[in-house]
Amino acid sequence: MKLVPAAAACAALLISTTGCSLTESNDPQASGSAGDGTITVDSTADACDLTTTKAPSGNLVFDVKNSGDQVTEFYFYAEDGLRIVGEIENVGPGLSRDLVVRAAPGSYVASCRPGMTGKGIRTDFTVTDSGEDTTITGVEQADIDAATTQYAAYVKDQSSQLVDETTAFVTAYAAGQDERARELYPQARTYWERIETVAESFGDLDPKMDLREADLTPGQEWTGWHRIEKDLWPPASGYTALGEADREKYGQDLLANTKTLDSRVQDLDYTVDQIGNGSKGLLDEVASGKITGEEDIWSHTDLYDFQANVDGARVAYEGLKPLLDVKDPALSQKIQSAFRDLQTSLDQYRRGKDDFVSYDTVTEPQRKELSDRVNALAEPLSKLTGAITL
Amino acid sequence: MTEPASETPTSPSGVSRRRLLGAAGAGALAVGAAGVGGYAVGHAAEDPGKPGQSSYAFGGRHQAGIVTPAQDRLHFAAFDVTSESRDDLILLLRAWTAAARAMTSGRPVGEGVPTSYDAPPDDTGEALDLDASGLTLTFGFGPTLFERDGKPRFGLDGKQPAALRELPHFPADKLDPARSNGDLCVQACAHDPQVAVHAIRNLSRIAFGTAAMRWAQLGFGRTSSTSTAQATPRNLFGFKDGTANLKSQDREGVEEFVWVGEGDDPRADWLAGGTYLVARRINMQIETWDRSSLREQESLVGRDREQGAPLSGGTEFTEPDFDLQGREGPLIGLDSHVRLAHPTQNKGVKMLRRGYNFTDGSNALGRLDAGLFFVAFVRDPDVHYIPMQTRLSAQDGLMEYLQHTGSGLWAVPPGVRRSTGFVGDTLFT
């Protein structure tokens, strides 16, 4: 699961201004009968027709249909016509897409923007009081800023430790200190795995650094972590060990790419939906690579990577927790306890503080238990982004 | 086509195997020929026929089960020839042909000729009350039929088509040898799964001593339409699949991209009128897919989920506009499946896909062992399949959720043209 480009209901630039709908609660208890009727929006070259311009407060569903022949967008603004409550982008001609927003009683402005330019075709929209408890407990902009700032700092910190640890690892490897290199391999990779979804978003670096042998294209040179892994834990037969020059070459190549990665993450900004998707994405990494034992097929150090993915996912979630606690406290509770359960399962395989048993000693029923725990966590976690950006 | 049945419940064709058996004899067979076979013979296999048709002729210029409107169910099997005798192999192909003629007409193996009470019945029986159910049986020859360990087999040296080689290792392939390749393959498609399974079971039984089943795959729902009269079905990702598939009505396209032409391969004139069958068992990471947002799903596929319209707009059959720009680049992403697989992005190459959804229960991790059993028929795999799959395996965003676990390539000989002929006879004469 790669880091998905920021484009959820609230795009990057919006979050940095007023936080769009993020600052409004979507506590599920507050919704209900109010959101039942879908409002159809017909966007054409010169019109933006809504089936109604009045709706009761709560969750509003706009079914935006593009009847024009240009790409269109739909915005739902607050009364000032500036603050975006919700938006839908990139609707191709003939297509429909749903926008769900949470709106308190008041005046709003709906706008279609055929061709994605200009102020759009605007219509006043009134949200009446549905009579339910519509008290909106808002998310503080400060919480949003804190979440994005903290996450950026976390990635930079991990990346910088990755450079240090990788340096130690490739140095030991080049010097022929195999025992030491084998110890350092899973430890150093921890820093990679914690920020794996970010690292993978650099499509040119990832295949050079973390490609598994099975994923090679014919003719493609195999470099990076797993190339060295195989040399340190060689198969019993049919393998020719790398010589001194090759050790130096593959080690330096990995280190150079690591430094490039580190320099690139210095300038990265994150949106809350990227952080949310990244958290879930790390669990996908666990599900698809680590639980199956395919990640570290030679060293069997998969549990280190597993733990590091979970660490990264938890950090991302914890950064967003203040937002989710407001938006959907029940979901937040569920995620939190699922993290705890997964950690308890994982801890059974610890050997000392920082080490794990070799994954080839973990039996199939034990792997299934881990897999079930991952599913139990990843399912609610997959709802995180939708919940905080609604 | 419809002959009301009185004694036994029958299918719309009005012919059931039980009735044939009950009446046991030439008279009953004649009914079969008039009621079912008659229609089918008149419309040889190159006429793809209507979806849901109750029987398709076995003989014809081309084998059935290729441009035939995709039936709903599949049972696919690969066999290895265990004998090294050319005569045994020919006998097997003759026996398979006879059984295939019977079963595709809704008649039992052995044609219902009575056997001793002390002998096992010729037909295994589970399809006795069912009609032909649109059964087609399509046979193919794998590279290992021609040569194994560098040695020619069955006197076929010099006859192996140049393109008939084991498929290359594509990026991220995780092939299980026990689900890959094979000297022979049989694709059984039918409207009723029991009929398809019955066919493979009986062919396997006939083969004992000469060939043994290597692996088999059930497909429970078609994922392709091969006729414009069919709606586009959905794969297990929940999306319509194969909208841009080659359809049998596109006769020029079928000639250009499916059937091997005279002179295509000087070593393999016997294959003219035939084609190549590519099979790939593609596991889907169902659980992680289900947790991905609709935004991610649609952008990876490049179509909207509900209608199947390309994200550049229109309806399902609107041509995608790969240049149309949205906020962050083209509306149809650069790594989207529809872009990478589309003929316009592959030098105009089209494939006739005939894949099926499958599930084989769950795996040791409690996940669905499910996905797409991809089947495609191409005129030249080196041109019409391998380049595209290489690109897809390396670049398709969907690969995040896919794992290829089985693979095979077979040359599919032309149809059996004479009543005394047998499947593959052009190769063995």
Q: Compute the distance between CA of residue B88 and CA of residue B85 in angstroms, rounded to an integer.
A: 5
Q: Is the Cβ–Cβ distance between B109 and B102 less than 8 Å?
A: yes
The predicted model gives A186-214 an average pLDDT of 92
* A296 φ/ψ angles, rounded to the nearest 5 degrees: -115, 70
By Cβ distance, the residue of A7, A217, A367 closest to B394 is A217
Measured in angstroms, the CA of B294 and the nearest CA of chain A are apart by 10
Give yes or no for A378 touching B (CB within 8 A): yes
**Contact list, B397 vs chain A (CB under 8 Å):** 2
Measured in angstroms, the CA of A213 and the nearest CA of chain B are apart by 9
> Quick check: B28 pLDDT over 80?
no
Largest CA distance in chain B: 76
**Contact list, B169 vs chain A (CB under 8 Å):** 218
Among B388, B316, B376, residue whose Cα is nearest residue B351: B376
Q: Compute the distance between CA of residue A211 and CA of residue A224 in angstroms, rounded to an integer.
A: 7
Predicted local confidence at residue B68, as pLDDT? 95
Give yes or no for B395 touching A (CB within 8 A): no
Give yes or no for A206 touching B (CB within 8 A): no
Here the tokens at position A140 are 């503080």
Give yes or no for A330 touching B (CB within 8 A): no
Of A117-121, B75-79, B170-174, which one has max mean pLDDT?
Answer: B75-79
The predicted model gives A97-126 an average pLDDT of 91
* B298 φ/ψ angles, rounded to the nearest 5 degrees: -65, -35
Percent of chain A with pLDDT over 70: 89
pLDDT in tens, A324-342: 998 899 999 999 999 999 9
Predicted local confidence at residue A9, as pLDDT? 36
pLDDT in tens, B193-247: 999 999 999 999 999 999 999 999 999 999 988 888 888 899 999 999 888 889 9
Predicted local confidence at residue B5, as pLDDT? 35
Render B90-145 in DSSP notation, one character per residue: HHHHHHHHHHHHHHHTTPPGGGG----TTS--SS--TTTTS--TT-EEEEEE-HHH
Confidence of residue A221 (pLDDT cuts 50, 70, 90): very high
* Residue in the structure block whose two tokens are 């705890």: A340
Q: Which of A272-286, B257-271, B413-427 has the lowest mean pLDDT?
A: A272-286
CATH superfamily of A141-389: M75 peptidase, HXXE motif (1.20.1420.20)
The predicted model gives B85-114 an average pLDDT of 95
> B90 or A272: whose pLDDT is higher?
B90
**Contact list, B313 vs chain A (CB under 8 Å):** 66, 69, 71, 92-95
Q: Test B366 with A277 for CB contact under 8 angstroms.
A: no
> Quick check: A97 pLDDT over 70?
yes
* B422 φ/ψ angles, rounded to the nearest 5 degrees: -145, 165
Q: Tell me the angle at which helices A302-327 and A272-285 cross, rounded to the nearest 10 degrees.
A: 150
> Quick check: B123 pLDDT over 70?
yes
Question: CA B2 → CA A177, B26, B37, B51, B123, distances in Å?
Answer: 81, 20, 13, 17, 25
Measured in angstroms, the CA of A131 and the nearest CA of chain B are apart by 32
> B287 or A130: whose pLDDT is higher?
B287
Q: Compute the distance between CA of residue A113 and CA of residue A102 in angstroms, rounded to an integer.
A: 21
One-letter amino acid of B199: A
Q: Test B328 with A277 for CB contact under 8 angstroms.
A: no
Predicted local confidence at residue B399, as pLDDT? 93
Predicted local confidence at residue A137, as pLDDT? 53
Give yes or no for A266 touching B (CB within 8 A): no
Q: Compute the distance between CA of residue A257 and CA of residue A262 in angstroms, rounded to an integer.
A: 9
**Contact list, B287 vs chain A (CB under 8 Å):** 287, 375, 378
Among A97, A101, A121, residue whose Cα is nearest residue A109: A121
Neighbours of A79 (CB within 10 A): 12
Nearest CA in chain A to B303: A95
Give yes or no for B119 touching A (CB within 8 A): no
Domain A28-128, what architecture? Sandwich (2.60)
> Quick check: A3 pLDDT over 60?
no
Give yes or no for A216 touching B (CB within 8 A): yes
Confidence of residue A22 (pLDDT cuts 50, 70, 90): low
Question: CA B209 → CA A254, A272, B108, B331, distances in Å?
Answer: 55, 65, 22, 57
B349: exposed, middle or buried (C-beta count within 10 Å: 0-12, 13-18, 19+)?
buried
Here the tokens at position A304 are 């280190």
> Quick check: B2 pLDDT over 80?
no
pLDDT in tens, B236-249: 999 998 888 899 88
Q: Is the Cβ–Cβ distance between B124 and B198 less than 8 Å?
A: yes
> Quick check: A5 pLDDT over 60?
no
Predicted local confidence at residue A24, as pLDDT? 46
The predicted model gives A68-96 an average pLDDT of 91
Predicted local confidence at residue A223, as pLDDT? 96
Here the tokens at position A67 are 């009847």
Helix (H, G, I), strand (E, B), or coil: what is residue A135? coil
> A334 or B112: whose pLDDT is higher?
A334
Confidence of residue A152 (pLDDT cuts 50, 70, 90): very high
> Quick check: B22 pLDDT over 80?
no
Neighbours of A220 (CB within 10 A): 12
Q: Compute the distance between CA of residue A92 and CA of residue A25 in angstroms, rounded to an integer.
A: 30
Q: Is the Cβ–Cβ distance between B156 and B145 less than 8 Å?
A: yes
Q: Test A71 with B313 for CB contact under 8 angstroms.
A: yes
Predicted local confidence at residue B111, as pLDDT? 87
Percent of chain B with pLDDT over 70: 89
> Quick check: A255 pLDDT over 60?
yes
**Contact list, B172 vs chain A (CB under 8 Å):** 214-215
Q: Compute the distance between CA of residue B317 and CA of residue B319 in angstroms, rounded to an integer.
A: 6
Predicted local confidence at residue B196, as pLDDT? 98
> B20 or B392: whose pLDDT is higher?
B392
Cα dihedral value B13, B16, B17, B20, nearest 10: -100
Helix (H) or strand (E) segment spanning residue B185:
strand B184-190
* B182 φ/ψ angles, rounded to the nearest 5 degrees: 140, 150
Question: Across chain B, what does the average pLDDT equal?
Answer: 88
Give yes or no for A371 touching B (CB within 8 A): yes
Q: Compute the distance between CA of residue B246 and CA of residue A91 in angstroms, rounded to an integer.
A: 28
Confidence of residue A136 (pLDDT cuts 50, 70, 90): very low
Question: CA A60 → CA A55, A66, B158, distances in Å?
Answer: 8, 19, 70
Q: Test A92 with B310 for CB contact under 8 angstroms.
A: yes
Say which residues have a Cβ less than 8 Å from residue A222's Cβ, sequence separation at least 6.
Answer: A211, A213, A216
Percent of chain B with pLDDT over 90: 79
Predicted local confidence at residue B41, as pLDDT? 39
Render B12-81 in DSSP notation, one character per residue: TTS--HHHHHHH-SHHHHHHHIIIIIHHHHHS-TTS---TT-S---S-SSS-SSSSSPPPSEEEEEEEEE
Predicted local confidence at residue B24, as pLDDT? 39
Question: Across chain A, what does the average pLDDT equal?
Answer: 87
Neighbours of A351 (CB within 10 A): 10
Confidence of residue A133 (pLDDT cuts 50, 70, 90): low
Q: Which of residues 364-383 of B touch A (CB under 8 A)?
A: 364-367
- The ranges assigned to domains in chain A are 28-128, 141-389
Give yes or no for A292 touching B (CB within 8 A): yes
Q: Compute the distance between CA of residue A140 and CA of residue A144 in angstroms, rounded to an integer.
A: 7
pLDDT in tens, B328-386: 899 999 999 999 999 988 999 999 999 999 999 999 999 999 999 999 999 999 999 99
> Quick check: B178 pLDDT over 70?
yes
Q: Which of A1-5, A183-187, A267-271 has the lowest mean pLDDT?
A: A1-5
Here the tokens at position B371 are 């996905």
Q: Is the Cβ–Cβ distance between B15 and B28 less than 8 Å?
A: no
Give yes or no for A293 touching B (CB within 8 A): no
Predicted local confidence at residue B245, as pLDDT? 86
Predicted local confidence at residue A366, as pLDDT? 96
Question: CA B385 → CA A187, B263, B369, distances in Å?
Answer: 43, 20, 25
Q: Compute the distance between CA of residue A380 and CA of residue B377 in angstroms, rounded to an integer.
A: 42
> Quick check: B272 pLDDT over 60?
yes
Q: Quick one: residue B409, left, alpha or beta (phi over 0 = left, psi -120 to 50 = alpha)?
A: beta
> Quick check: A32 pLDDT over 70?
no
pLDDT in tens, B183-195: 999 999 999 999 9
Q: Compute the distance between CA of residue A148 and CA of residue A130 in angstroms, rounded to an integer.
A: 34
Q: Test A287 with B306 for CB contact under 8 angstroms.
A: no
Interface test with B, best of A2, A3, A95, A362 (most B CBs within 10 A): A95
Question: CA A17 → CA A22, A141, A272, A385, A390, distances in Å?
Answer: 11, 9, 13, 19, 17
Residue length of chain A: 390
> B394 or A158: whose pLDDT is higher?
A158
Helix (H, G, I), strand (E, B), or coil: what is residue A81? coil
Among B393, B400, B395, B415, residue whose Cα is nearest residue B275: B415
Among B239, B372, B370, residue whose Cα is nearest residue B296: B239
> A27 or B260: whose pLDDT is higher?
B260
Predicted local confidence at residue B231, as pLDDT? 87
Q: Decide the pairing of beta strands A121-128 and A54-56.
A: parallel
Nearest CA in chain A to B327: A90
The reply to whether A28-128 and A141-389 are identical in fold is no
**Contact list, B170 vs chain A (CB under 8 Å):** 217
What distance, in Å, lies between the first and last C-alpha atoms of chain B?
Answer: 37
ipTM above 0.90, yes or no: no
The predicted model gives B154-171 an average pLDDT of 95
Helix (H, G, I), strand (E, B), or coil: what is residue B152? strand
pLDDT in tens, A287-310: 988 999 989 999 999 999 999 999
Q: Compute the distance between CA of residue B341 and CA of residue B350 in angstroms, rounded to an integer.
A: 9
Measured in angstroms, the CA of A128 and the nearest CA of chain B are apart by 30
> Quick check: B403 pLDDT over 70?
yes
